[in-house]
Amino acid sequence: MGSIRKELSEYGLTPRKRWGQHFLVDRNILNKIIRTAEITNEDVVLEVGPGLGEMTLALARQAKRVIAVEIDPKLAEILEKKVGTTPNVAIIRKDILKVDFQELFKPVDHPIKVVANLPYQISTPLLFRFIESRKIFSALTLTLQKEVADRMGAPPGGKAYGPLSVLVQSVADISICFIIKPSAFFPPPKVESAVIRLSWKEKPMIAPEQEDWFRGVVKGCLGYRRKTLANALKHSELPLPENLEEKLEGIGIDPRRRPETLSVREFVDLASVLRH
């Protein structure tokens, strides 16, 4: 895989900052990611950001089908040529943030596994899209900025704990599988990356019809994380009961606590009592 630099040069391509392109050049890391994803010959896999197709072809050797979404038209053209004789690979030329997952996977009769090296600038909005469409996906194996992985799995009380932590942990179990040094990529990013695995909870803590409200409560509170919980809620523009402090004490939450100290379960209870 060290030849990726040479291959890019032969095609007259340079990594594009606009799309956060960092090409994985370490074969051992690639194989480790695939092992982490636990791909079987019955799996349909969505790959995001396939680059020059090294991961795509490796996945195709194990999966029933691979659907690779690439935003860069030049790379997509190269990929289509490289996988032309691989019948179980489809290349989609599109921005992953604009893909209609329901439409794309309409012919597929079982959940999809995701394997993706996420561009840093779209990792958070794409994570939210995967969460919203989680009925379509069975498990996600993602390579992303270590800082984002840390935020996803952060416990209450620390600087990393925020809306992403609460929203992810309310619906999924997260495992940080291993760390990747910048030298494994070309060009090397300025920060370390992490490979994580997300699997959905059998019983999510929030019912689907309550998710929008829950998200609003979490963001409203943590938008004012240094205020007391009562004051944060009053600044949040959420519709609140007149007896707010009494409601909070009724579920065992001190109104004087800071929002960043609330556990995921406490946010669930808070959203529930404020909804009524």
On whether both 178 and 139 belong to a single domain, the answer is yes
**CB-CB contact of 177 with 38 (8 Å):** no
Give the C-alpha separation, 259 to 74, whole Å. 46
Q: Report pTM.
A: 0.88
Number of folded domains that form the chain: 2
**pLDDT tens digits for range 190-232:** 999 999 999 999 988 988 888 899 999 999 999 998 899 999 9
Nearest to 48 by CA among 28, 26, 17, 76: 76
On whether both 215 and 269 belong to a single domain, the answer is yes
CATH number at residue 212: 1.10.8.100
Average pLDDT, the chain: 91
Give the C-alpha separation, 115 to 149, whole Å. 15
Amino acid at 47: E
The position carrying tokens 């190269």 is 78
**CB-CB contact of 167 with 152 (8 Å):** no
On whether both 163 and 237 belong to a single domain, the answer is no
Give the C-alpha separation, 269 to 86, whole Å. 50
On whether both 195 and 213 belong to a single domain, the answer is no
Residues 6+ apart with CB under 8 A from 155: 161
* Residue 63 pLDDT class (50, 70, 90 cuts): very high
With pLDDT > 70 as the criterion, what percentage of the chain qualifies?
Answer: 96
> pLDDT higher for 106 or 28?
28
* Residue 15 pLDDT class (50, 70, 90 cuts): low
> pLDDT higher for 118 or 145?
145
On whether both 78 and 214 belong to a single domain, the answer is no
Is pLDDT of 238 > 60? yes
**pLDDT tens digits for range 66-111:** 999 999 899 999 999 888 889 999 999 999 999 999 888 887 777 8
On whether both 214 and 164 belong to a single domain, the answer is no
Domain that holds residue 135: 4-200
The confidence score (pLDDT) of residue 1 equals 52
Lowest mean pLDDT among 173-187, 196-210, 244-258: 196-210
With pLDDT > 90 as the criterion, what percentage of the chain qualifies?
Answer: 69
CA dihedral 183, 188, 192, 194 (to 10 degrees): -90
pLDDT, mean of residues 229-245: 92
